Amino acid sequence: MAVILDGAALAAKLKARIREEAGALPRPPMLAVVLAGEDPASQIYVRGKERDCAECGIRTRTHRLPADVSQRELSALVDRLNRDGDVDGILVQLPLPEGLDPRPILHAVSPEKDVDCFHPLNAGLLALGEPRFLPCTPAGVLELLDAYEIPVRGRLCVIIGRSHLVGRPLAQLLTARDGTVTLCHSRTADLPALTRQADILVSAAGRRGLVTADMIKPGAAVIDVAMNRDPGGKLAGDVDFPAAEAMAGFLTPVPGGVGPMTRAMLLRNVLQAADRR
């Protein structure tokens, strides 16, 4: 049976350390959150981030804007936050309301305050192996591997999903750790043939039930990044958990695996941003 990678417990430990370090700074760090529109999931995510920050001694200031906010008003707010000396990190909650283009907004965030690591400069630094911030979800995956002493060097790492949020930056980080990385996507021919060779298999496709036990190499570390809803509304990953548990050596649960780690990594980035300033 697989060892279950307990992201919730590890995140709690990391948060305790972040709280201690935040308390040692000359003033508590500050995260500014921009939330436009009424998307219910975004409201829940933002409340979660506010709670996480409060637990770690990080202040938050959430700017709630109506769904009909203009591109120009949103840019003006980001510009003000960039210049605000009290703000260490800026997070623009996605998705933005329909009709707004997120790219110019995300690109307008000062790279020094870009705690989500979405700015092209920060994405470029990451690609060059000189990251200013680590993107939260990929960093959370690495922390989990490290905590359970799962080696990356020389291992075949197969990632399902090539998004700029998860798959691509994770491929860069695992490559930097001397993993041999195969990045798969919806046009990959014979996905199971590739996943079956993986020592570390990461699924970030957002397709419930995509990864079945026969796609897993016996003893592999299987990291399920996805957050899908089953028909009953329950959170589920991409991996068929009960079947995978019998095949994998290590396995993340959903919820309680990568999700809490992602949240903890955001807090770490805010702390780093504050510390550097």
What is the set of active-site residues? 49, 93, 116
Contact string 93-132 vs ligand NAP (x = CB under 6 A): ----------------------------------------
Candidate ranges 11-19, 86-94, 145-153, 159-167; the one touching ligand NAP (CB under 6 A): 159-167
Of 71, 180, 188, 212, the residue at the interface with ligand NAP (CB under 6 A) is: 188
Residues 61/32, Cβ–Cβ less than 8 Å: yes
Q: What are the CA-CA distances from residue 241 to residues 83, 245, 252 (Å)? A: 47, 6, 9
CA distance linking residue 17 with residue 143, whole number of Å:
14
Of 49, 59, 119, 162, the residue at the interface with ligand NAP (CB under 6 A) is: 162
CA distance linking residue 228 with residue 226, whole number of Å:
6
Question: Binding to ligand NAP by residue 163, rule CB under 6 A?
Answer: yes
CA distance linking residue 157 with residue 215, whole number of Å:
14
Q: What are the CA-CA distances from residue 249 to residues 122, 209, 220, 240, 262 (Å)? A: 34, 19, 5, 15, 22
Q: Identify which of residues 166 and 200 has a Cβ nearer to ligand NAP in the complex.
A: 166
Q: Identify which of residues 77 and 141 has a Cβ nearer to ligand NAP in the complex.
A: 141
Closest distance between ligand NAP and the C-beta of residue 53, in Å?
16
> Would residue 219 be called left, alpha or beta, if left means φ above 0 and alpha means ψ between -120 and 50 degrees?
left
Q: Identify which of residues 49 and 77 has a Cβ nearer to ligand NAP in the complex.
A: 49
Q: Identify which of residues 25 and 156 has a Cβ nearer to ligand NAP in the complex.
A: 156
The secondary element (H helix, E strand) that includes residue 34 is: strand 30-36
CA distance linking residue 41 with residue 52, whole number of Å:
17
> What is the token pair recorded at 269?
């980035």
Candidate ranges 52-60, 69-77, 119-127, 187-195; the one touching ligand NAP (CB under 6 A): 187-195
Q: Identify which of residues 69 and 117 has a Cβ nearer to ligand NAP in the complex.
A: 117
Of 60, 262, 269, 272, the residue at the interface with ligand NAP (CB under 6 A) is: 262
The site for ligand NAP (CB under 6 A) is made up of 137, 160-163, 165-167, 184-188, 191, 204-207, 210, 225-228, 258-259, 262
